[in-house]
Every structure is written in structure tokens, then in C-alpha cells.
Chains A and B, each alone.
Chain A
Amino acid sequence: MRKHRAKIILIVGAVLLSLYLLYPTYQDYEYQQTLNQLSEEDSLAFIEEHEASIRDARARRIKLGLDLQGGMRVVLEVNVLKLIEDLAKNKDATFDEILTAVKGEAQRSEESPVLILRRSFEEHQIRMSRYYGSLRDDNDRIFAFLEDESQKAIDRGMEIVRNRVDQYGVSEPSIQKLGANRIIVELPGVTKEAEVRRLLQGTARLEFKLLKEPELVYRVMDAIDKAVVELTTDSTDTSLVASLPDDTTAIDTPEGELTPEEFAKKHPFFSVALINPDQFPGDAVVAEENKDKIRRMLEREEVQRVTPNDFQFVWSAKPKVFDDTRYFMLYAVKRTPELTGGVIVNARAQIDPSFNQPIVTMEMNSEGAREWARITGANVNKRIAIVLDNAVFSDPVVRNKIIGGNSQIEGLDDLDEARLLEIVLKAGALPAPVEIIEQRSVGPSLGEDSIRSGLFSAGLATLLTILFMVFYYRAGGMVADLALVFCLLFLLAVLAAFQGTLTLPGIAGIILTLAIAVDANVLIYERVREEIATGKTLRAAIDAGYDKAFSAIFDTNLTTFITGVILYQFGTGPVQGFALTLMIGIASSMFSAVFITRVIFNILADKYTTGIQFG
């Protein structure tokens, strides 16, 4: 025994350390069990009493992946190109053309969009200073400026996403940056998809915009109508030809004798964008099915040519329902906002007591309040649209000058929507829009099923392996089984220590580790049998078996380890969980199946010089 003392201390130490590392996982499980049995009141009291220790156990337990505990994973991509587009000045057709090409390339390429933009400009031999910075700036300088701006937008975007998630109230969310312009958000236990989407994706760009005078709006719409007529008669392009609205009564038709078909042909715009100067002065009403058509018309170059520069059409955020048909309002506003959401310092969702409707009230900082007072004072009896992410939520008429910097957003569906809006307004606007490019969610019941089937198959596989080893190798098998148990213990402890995440493929990795650990012992024992067959003493045979089997064990484990490393590099989420358990498993199986079993055999061989059976 004495000569093995250092090794024994090492093994016992490793086991004790593993147990210590795994204790929080056990503790957390116990707490969950207790909490599940208690009634609601009792459990609250229990949580209060043990708060620190519960939190501590939760922080240090083995983390379960979203596939096991349920939840959502969202990958966001910051739309840097939109930011670049917004930053440009003197935009013209050439710029739009280049940008469209760059957008297409960025869809396919891994390169930074700013780099693609620069290359594209250089290919066209256009100096970037035409659109950015001052005329004297060279491309390098502007490139650096744009890179810096997009980097800032991504960092700020990440911070805002974090703020929003924090305020939304999820336990243990994870927010990480991925590559150049992506953000991974993991929300355990959350499955309300629509809500999360709105929470993360809304840029929350709040703008207060003046509506245009009705007479001017009608003049512009008239010009647009004429422009579209020309377009449809000039070309064979039928995409703009209006289909007839179901309900044409709202149209104020001066040529009342026309049949609907003739009217649609003569006034393609007005036949779908209905106007009603008495009820909605200056606005158009568009049935939901015609929204895209109007959008396409407004995007046409010929139409934009007849639209004044500071003129902008925006849609209402929510449809209105008349006679079972959903209609969107089309508002004409001044392009430059009077005020933006940057001045908002606080927001609160509440029910408007007078109308019993959900609203969000906002407070502005002193500078914003001053501006707001000036704007409202100068525009009494005019309408100001409250625009959030390019959709109009309300268009109140200013009754008198508003002092104190208060405003509110109306027209929300329910209090939940109001709360989300409160969060995004408080967290601030995203500097550039973000797009959800990947979203995965797992319901809690599927997670429970996965845990159950994962644990059951792991347990059964372990049991079968253990039985087989004892059956086949007798005493040797028992030692190998002991090593197997140690191997699992070390694997889980290392997982807990490194804050690794256990996923369902991760459990498959553990099961595979069992086989790898057993293989090491099989290699050794088969060798020991061979050595015994050549007439060696038990002691010598064991030594020779271990020594000669080692190179094969080492090489096989290393090749599997290499594939594990590669898998970890290229995989995501659950697959990384598999690679992780596989790598840890290989390392711990080397320790337990090779090192620990040898120490045990050395001790046993000292005591029983002939008695150990290798089957």
C-alpha cells in the first residue's frame, strides 16, 4: 500500500473534488423537488428562507441546454447596410444601384458589408466622399469611419438587446456576440414567440411627425394617380393594375357615371386608396389586400418624381375594421421628424381611465419638453403623427401647447403590447434594425421527455455494459466497472466546473464515452490474457499488458478527440454539447480506465499474487 500512497491520494482527491463540484447540482435538484411538493404560499416562504443558497446552487449546477429545459434561442443580425444607407447623404440612382448590389452580395458573403461596399465603390471608380464625410476625405478615412459606426451600432445594439431582455424578466438569459454582426440570445423557459420577436426585433425608433395639409395631400395623390395611369398605359406591366375594391361607396367620384372597371382604369391609385375628406381629411384608406399594391406604386421612380421631397407616406400600425374588411390608413407626413425618441426618459404602460384602453405614457427630458412645447405651440389644431418603427400609432390633433414634456401612445391591442412597448422605449432605440435569422424554441414538455429518455437510455446502457464486463472479465471486469463509475463522475464534475451545458446530444456523447472507456480496458485485458498465455507471472503480465496496450489506447483516443475538437469548432448549440461531453469523456476515461485501474491492480497483485481472474 505504502508505495502507492501518492497515487491513492491523487485518486481520492479527484473523487472528493468531483463530489464537491457536483453537490450544487444535487442541491438544486433537492430544492426543486421540495418546491414542487409545497403549496404556493409555503414555497414562497421556503424561497425566502433559503434564497442565497438556492441561488448559489443554481449558479453552480450543471446547466441544461435549451433542448432539455425548454426555451428559445434567437440569432439576430444587425442590419449594418441599413445604417450605412441612413448615414449617406446626396443619395442618387448610382448610390441605390451600388447599394442593391452590395446587399445581394452581403447575403451570400461572410465579409463585412462595409468592406464589400468599399470594394464596390472602387470597382465603379466612385469616391466614397461623394456620399460620406467631407469632399477632401479619402476612401481609407471614410472606410474607417463607416467601420467604426457599424461597430458602434453593433455594440450598442447588443447593449440594448440586453437591457430589453433584462427588463422582460427571464432567469439566466444568455446574450453573446457571434462573428461580426450577430447576437445570440438564449432565453430558458420562454416560449412566447410572438412577444419575444417584438421585444427583440422592434428598432423602437419613435418619431413625432407633422401631417401634411389635406389640400396638398390631395394634389400630390392626384399627381401620383396620373403618373400611375401613364405607367400602366405605356407599358405592359400589369402589376400595378388595380383589382377592384369590394366596397366603392367610400370613393368620392366626380365622374360618378363611370362603371367600376372604367374607374379603376382611369384612376388606378384612387380606386384602391380610398379617400373620404369628411371623415379622414388628408388620409387614404386602403383595404389590407391592396396594401402591397399601393406600396409597389409608391416605390416606382415615376411616382417618386411627382412626390415632393419632404413628403412621406406611412401606414397605420393597426388595421381598422369596416364591414368585416380590414383597412389600413395611409398617412402623408413631413419626412423630417419634429422630435425623436431620444428625448424619452421614462415610459409606463397603463389603462387610460377615460377610454379604458391600454396606452403608454412617456416623459421627456427637459430639452425634449422645451422642444415639444414649441412644436405643439406652433401647430395648434394641426395633427401630429406618433410614429414607431415607421408605423403610425396615433395622429392626435394638437389642442393647445403642451408644457412639461408628456405624450402618449394609443391604439394598442392589449396591455401586454403596452408593456412590451414600455420596455423597448425605456431600453432605447436600436441604432440599426436587427433581423431574426434563426430561431429555435423547445416546449417544456418536449424537454422533459428528452431528459427522461436521455437518462433512461444512459442508465440502461451503463447497466448493460457493467454486467457484460463482470460476466466476461470477472474480477478484472469489476475493476473496469469501478473505473467506469469514476469516469462518469469525473465527466459530470468537469462539466459542472467549466459551466458546460448538457444537451440531448450531450447525453449521447456520455453514452458513447462509456464505450470508449470500456474499450481501453478491453485492450488492456486482452493484452494481459495474451501475456499470461506466454507464461508470465500475473504481476508481470499486468505490467506488460498496461505498457503495451497504452500506445493503441492513446492513439485511438487522440483521433476521436481530434474529431471532437473539430466538431466543437464547427457545430452550434446541441452539437457542441455533444463534442464537449465527448472530449471531457475521453480525458476522464484515460484517467480512470488506464491510471486508476492500474493502481487498483497493483494493490491487488501485491496481496493476491495469483488470484485475480481476467476471465
Chain B
Amino acid sequence: MRILGKTTINFMATRRSWYIVSAVVILAGLVSLFMKGVNYGIDFLGGTELVVRFDQAVDIGKVRSAMTGVGFESAEIKTFGSDRDILIRTPSIETEEGVAVGDILQQGLRDSFSGNQFTVQKEDKIGPKIGAELRRDAIYAVAASLIAIWLYIGFRFRFVYGIGAVAALFHDVLITLGIISIFDGVAGLNLEISQNMIAAFLTLVGLSVNDSVVIFDRIRENQKIFKTMNLADLMNKSINEMLSRTIITSGTIFIVLMVLMIFGGEVNRGFAFTLLIGIITGTYSSVYTASAVALDWTLRGKAQGRMVK
């Protein structure tokens, strides 16, 4: 069976228009990032987070008044999966007398919902120091992987391809981050920035560069065979040859991630959503960012009379 036959699409001819499309999407994301921001989880902010499961469904408003009753009127309260599961989050982890906030929150729930028993599903307490360290580690991790990938691609292929691949990575990370900011708050998606989310972003980086590498690999091979062909045609030829693979692989990953997002549990939902966006932009950017930037960089270099092949 075949999804695509032989194609001869001139991808590189339209690259300028796609730059604009990318720029618009990134800009929309940035606007949302500045206006609305992203929702940091307690991994990065520190605080106490309590998830409880009640025997019967509860009303969020009543949970809120229970929290106000124990002095945590600013607590963030939302459902976690079903309307029996409630997530409560406060910024502090201990009261002045050194009593754990989690205990107070539980006492408040017990007092208000005497007829409706609950069990504690999850309780996390992160001190402010740990939060700051995790934030710093996350930034290091993303920066380190970008540099490592740039070095690796630059070493295995040519310098310009490293630039192209890293440009594509920035493109994907920015778009995904923007979309997360735009979609934040959509019920059931759980898109807060947690450690899992950082893992999702790094995986996205790994997968996004995959597609670029596969195309670069074919360009490298074709360059040896068609020595006189100009770079834009060479790229078009290579991308067309790999198009069927790109669609099948991305499609499989897409299906797998859909399964994970729908059935993988509350914890994996935001993770899978992030990767889904990442796969879409990653597939697109391997053509219209990674290859296109490598092409324009080379052309510019030639125009300036430098010997960049």
C-alpha cells in the first residue's frame, strides 16, 4: 500500500511565504506569552499541592469556602480528571508555627464534608529553594540540549545545517510554548509547566531534529550524485523523496501520542499534548525552517562572496 506516490513539489519556492506564516504563529504565541503567560506548576513555584478523591462528586464552590474557612482563601482549586477529584494548591508549605499546610487543608475538607469521605491521592510540598533550583536546571537542560544538537549536526553535516536545525528547534519550541500559553486553561488538558513538561520539551527537541536529520542525510547523499544541481533543486528533490517516510513516521507518532493523551492518565495528558504540537511543527519545520534556513544562509554566504558550500 502507498499513501503517496512520487511527488515533485517545489517546496523551496514558497519558503518565503511560509516564513511569514511561521512568524505570525510565533508572534501570536509570544503575545499570549506576554499577556497571559504560562501556568507554572508547584515544581517551579514551590508550595503545597493536594489532590483528594471524594466518595461523591463535590461542588468546587463548597471546596473554596472550606479553604477560606481554614485561612487559605487564595488557594487555587480545580478538578483533576473527574468531579470527585479535587486539586488544591497554595504557595506556602508551612505555617508560622511549623504546621504543614497540607494537614490544615485536609482538616478544612474534613470539617466541611463530614458526610463525604475522601482519600489523599497525591500531596507534594516543594520548598522555595528546590523550586528555584528546578527552574535553573530546566533552563540548563534545554540550553545544553540545543548546544549539543547544534554541535552534533554541525560535526556530522555542515555548519549551515547545524544553524538550520537549531533554527528549526527554536521555531518548534517557541510555537509549542505559545500554543501551550494559548490553550492553557482549556478544561482537562492540564497544561501547567511541570518537570514532566520540561521532559516533553526536550523530547520534542529530539524528535524535531530527527526529521531534519533524515532530510539532511538525503541531501548529503544526493549532493554526491548530482554534483551540478543547485542547492534549492537538490533540497526539493531530497524532501520529495523523503516525504512518504516523513508522513508515515509522523503519522505513527501522532497516533501513538493521541492514545497517550486520551488514555494515558491525567499526569501524561499535558505531556502528550505538548509532543503532539511538537510533532506537527517538527514535521513542518524540517522542511520550511531547517532546510529553508540552511538554503538561505548558504545563498547569502555566496552573495557575500564567501566560500560556503
Contact = CB atoms under 8 A, between A and B. Distances in A.
A239 B218 CA distance: 74
Contacts of B138: 570
Interface in A485-542: 504-505, 507-508, 511-512, 514-515, 518-519, 522-523, 526, 530
A578 to B, nearest CB: 5
A93 interface: no
Q: Which of B244, B245, B262, B275 has the most CB of A within 10 A?
A: B245
Contact of B260 (A461, A518, A578): A461
Contact of A505 (B214, B218, B268): B268
B156 A440 contact: no
A569 interface: yes
A507 to B, nearest CB: 8
B249 interface: yes
Nearest to A586: B206
B185 interface: no
B122 A468 contact: no
B120 A443 contact: yes
Interface of B: 1-3, 51, 53, 96-97, 100, 102-103, 119-127, 129-130, 132-134, 137-138, 140-141, 144-145, 148-149, 152-153, 156, 195-196, 198-199, 202-203, 205-207, 209-210, 213-214, 217-218, 221, 241-242, 244-245, 248-249, 252-253, 255-256, 259-260, 262-265, 267-268, 271-272, 275
Q: Which of A292, A438, A439 has the most CB of B within 10 A?
A: A438
B192 to A, nearest CB: 15
Interface string A471-483: 1111000000000
Contacts of A574: 195-196
B1 A556 contact: no
Contacts of A518: 249, 252
Nearest to A453: B265
Contact of B123 (A110, A193, A472): A193
Contact of A522 (B103, B130, B248, B256): B248
A526 B213 CA distance: 16
Contacts of B206: 559-560, 562-564
Given A108-B132, A575-B199, A562 B152 contact: yes
A441 B256 CA distance: 29
Given A108-B129, A456-B263, A507-B268, 9 more contacts: A193-B103, A440-B123, A457-B264, A472-B3, A522-B245, A555-B156, A569-B144, A578-B199, A582-B203
A563 B145 contact: yes
Contacts of B217: 551-552, 555
Contacts of A75: 130
A152 interface: no
Contacts of A77: 129
B253 to A, nearest CB: 4
Contact of A562 (B119, B134, B145, B199): B145
27 contacts: A110-B133, A437-B127, A439-B123, A443-B122, A445-B121, A446-B51, A446-B53, A457-B268, A460-B263, A461-B259, A471-B1, A474-B1, A512-B203, A515-B253, A518-B252, A522-B245, A522-B252, A526-B242, A555-B156, A558-B152, A559-B149, A559-B152, A559-B206, A562-B152, A570-B144, A571-B198, A574-B195
A436 interface: yes
B260 A508 contact: yes
A579 interface: yes
Contacts of A438: 125-127, 130
B1 A615 contact: yes
B199 A567 contact: yes
A180 to B, nearest CB: 13
Nearest to A446: B121
Contact of A523 (B137, B245, B272): B245
Contact of A453 (B130, B199, B214, B264): B264
Interface string A57-94: 00000000001000000010100000000000000000
A519 B249 contact: yes
A163 interface: no
Given A446-B51, A559-B209, A562-B148, A548 B221 contact: yes
A453 B207 CA distance: 24
B44 to A, nearest CB: 12
A474 B96 CA distance: 68
Contacts of B137: 570-571
B102 A457 contact: no
A468 B255 contact: yes
B256 A442 contact: no
A471 B241 CA distance: 22
Interface in A400-442: 435-442
Q: Which of B53, B262, B265 has the most CB of A within 10 A?
A: B265
B88 to A, nearest CB: 15
A472 B152 contact: no
B6 to A, nearest CB: 8
Contact of B213 (A522, A555, A567): A555
A413 to B, nearest CB: 14
A445 B54 CA distance: 12
Contact of A559 (B102, B124, B210): B210
Contacts of A435: 127
Contacts of B275: 512
B272 A464 contact: no
A120 interface: no
A572 interface: yes
B202 A567 contact: yes
Contact of A556 (B96, B203, B210): B210
A450 interface: yes
A464 B263 contact: no
Contacts of A474: 1
Contact of B202 (A460, A558, A563): A563
Nearest to B125: A439
A191 interface: yes
B122 A446 contact: yes
A56 interface: no
Given A453-B265, A471-B1, A441 B123 contact: yes
A563 B205 contact: yes
A442 B1 contact: no
A107 interface: yes
Contact of A440 (B125, B203, B256): B125
A614 to B, nearest CB: 10
A75 B127 CA distance: 10
Interface in A165-205: 191, 193-194, 197
A290 interface: no
A24 B213 CA distance: 40
A230 interface: no
B2 A571 contact: no
Contacts of B102: 193
B182 to A, nearest CB: 23
Contacts of A108: 129, 132
A446 B262 CA distance: 17
Contacts of B260: 457, 461, 508, 511
B264 A437 contact: no
A526 B244 contact: yes
A442 B268 CA distance: 15
Contact of B141 (A197, A526, A530, A570): A570
Contacts of A559: 149, 152-153, 206, 209-210, 213
